[in-house]
Amino acid sequence: MSRRSVQLLRHLLPKATAPTLSPTSNPTRSVTYMPRPGDGAPRAVTLIPGDGIGPLVTNAVEQVMDAMHAPIYFETFEVHGDMPKVPDEVMESIKKNKVCLKGGLATPMGGGVSSLNLQLRRELDLYASLVNCFNLPGLVTKHENVDIVVIRENTEGEYSGLEHEVIPGVVESLKVITKFCSERIARYAFEYAYLNNRKKVTAVHKANIMKLADGLFLESCREVATNYPSIAYNEIIVDNCCMQLVSKPEQFDVMVTPNLYGNLVANTAAGLAGGTGVMPGGNVGADHAIFEQGASAGNVGNQRILDLKKANPVALLLSSAMMLRHLQFPSFSDRLETAVKRVILEGKCRTKDLGGQSTTQEVVDAVVAALD
């Protein structure tokens, strides 16, 4: 066949087009995951429904897990924020199971009652809090291309709980920063970035004023950064960070922060990407992990939402998907995430905070129907 004939034949034949995946098409199942013998055995998970809307949204997770036949089962305990301490049997369950799913626990304002959330983090050494703030397809927000991971030191800083009254009318509160904890959280942030193909880590600080405390935190971050030359590293003062977040959030990737700053930054970033009702998160240490709604604002809800049974379960559903991946059940995690995103994209079942009027149960039913 002559060269001209070949050229003519190529011109006449229809050109092959690359296949496209619609939002509702089934993704190709992975064959690369090779479990170890026994990995499919059901795992026990400690469940703390908590206060306010907590029992409503944790029940939503239980229903979806049952519908998926996920290889987990829950050990449920009643814990409330006004208790003087976390019951011993609850701590023993978490230490045995290594993993916990938790609804919100109300923390009384003022007085002498300590936060049970802080007690859990300290006793289990859950030194890293992770909140993933990202745009969900189909959910309209003021900013696009938001995909921020806030990694916050969870055990010291302003949340050390070291407060006392010096004299009547004068209270002293200590902020504790150690090199050990600062290096540990910095290393976790860079490891997370490396393992998840993230390109940049930003350290948030106030070292221009708190030169010793935040200065030590920055020094630790800089030292750890030298071990990860493929990941960009920069620093930003916390007040400028807040301004940059609300004006140009897409510039941030992974953010590593001391305790208090991380709480503020994570809730701000969550508000930009759709609200606290859709942001997953968890607290992790070397041996244990607790998964819960990522941003703390509104995790207990209010009485009206509870009475109407219209709490948004999306954040805890996505947090439970994180939990499934943590337990090395990636297929179940992918199925759950895909189903939740399909429901948000379709827009038919949304709670009031996302512009709809659906009840919690209606969202749950839609997610179950969307499961592969």
219: three-class secondary structure by DSSP? helix
Which pLDDT tens digit goes with each residue over 187-234?
Answer: 999 999 999 999 999 999 999 999 999 999 999 999 999 999 999 999
Superfamily of domain 38-128+277-371: Isopropylmalate Dehydrogenase (3.40.718.10)
β-pairing verdict for 99-102 and 254-257 = unpaired
Q: What is the spatial distance between Cα 214 and Cα 52, in angstroms, rounded to a whole number? A: 36
Q: What is the spatial distance between Cα 158 and Cα 13, in angstroms, rounded to a whole number? A: 69
User: Given pLDDT bands bounded at 50, 70 and 90, which one contains residue 7?
Assistant: very low
User: What's the pLDDT at 76?
Assistant: 96
Q: What is the spatial distance between Cα 293 and Cα 49, in angstroms, rounded to a whole number? A: 12
User: What's the pLDDT at 312?
Assistant: 93
Which pLDDT tens digit goes with each residue over 250-294?
Answer: 999 999 999 999 999 999 999 898 888 899 999 999 999 999 998
Q: What is the spatial distance between Cα 56 and Cα 43, in angstroms, rounded to a whole number? A: 23
**Residue range(s) occupied by CATH 3.40.718.10 in the chain:** 38-128+277-371, 142-273
Domain spanning 142-273: CATH 3.40.718.10 = yes
Q: Is the pLDDT of residue 246 over 80?
A: yes
User: Given pLDDT bands bounded at 50, 70 and 90, which one contains residue 326?
Assistant: very high
User: What's the pLDDT at 205?
Assistant: 96
Q: What is the spatial distance between Cα 288 and Cα 109, in angstroms, rounded to a whole number? A: 28
The pTM score is 0.87
60's CB contacts (< 8 A; 6+ apart) are: 313, 316, 317, 360, 361, 363, 364
Q: For residues 12 and 298, which has the higher predicted lDDT (pLDDT)? A: 298
How far lies 69's CA from each of 63, 225, 359, 368, in Å?
A: 10, 42, 24, 11
Interval 345-366 mean pLDDT:
93
Interval 73-97 mean pLDDT:
94
User: What's the pLDDT at 264?
Assistant: 93
| DSSP tag of 67 | H
Highest mean pLDDT among 8-17, 266-275, 295-304: 266-275
Contact indicator for 340, 313 with CB cutoff of 8 Å: no
- Residue 27, classified by CB atoms within 10 Å of its CB into exposed (0-12), middle (13-18) or buried (19+), is exposed
Q: Is the pLDDT of residue 16 over 60?
A: no
User: Given pLDDT bands bounded at 50, 70 and 90, which one contains residue 20?
Assistant: very low
Name the residue among 271, 360, 369, 346 with its Cα closest to residue 316. Answer: 360
User: What's the pLDDT at 286?
Assistant: 94
User: What's the pLDDT at 307?
Assistant: 84
User: Given pLDDT bands bounded at 50, 70 and 90, which one contains residue 164?
Assistant: confident
Interval 153-179 mean pLDDT:
88
Backbone angles phi, psi at 33, to 5 degrees: -85, 120
Interval 351-367 mean pLDDT:
93
Mean model confidence pLDDT for the chain: 88
β-bridge partners, 129: 152, 283
| One-letter amino acid of 63 | Q
247's CB contacts (< 8 A; 6+ apart) are: none
Q: What is the spatial distance between Cα 345 and Cα 285, in angstroms, rounded to a whole number? A: 34
Which pLDDT tens digit goes with each residue over 92-123?
Answer: 999 999 999 999 988 777 655 578 888 999 99
Of 67-76, 85-94, 104-113, 345-354, minimum mean pLDDT range: 104-113
Helix axes 330-346, 360-370, angle to 10 degrees: 120
Contact indicator for 239, 137 with CB cutoff of 8 Å: no
User: What's the pLDDT at 28?
Assistant: 57
User: What's the pLDDT at 297?
Assistant: 64
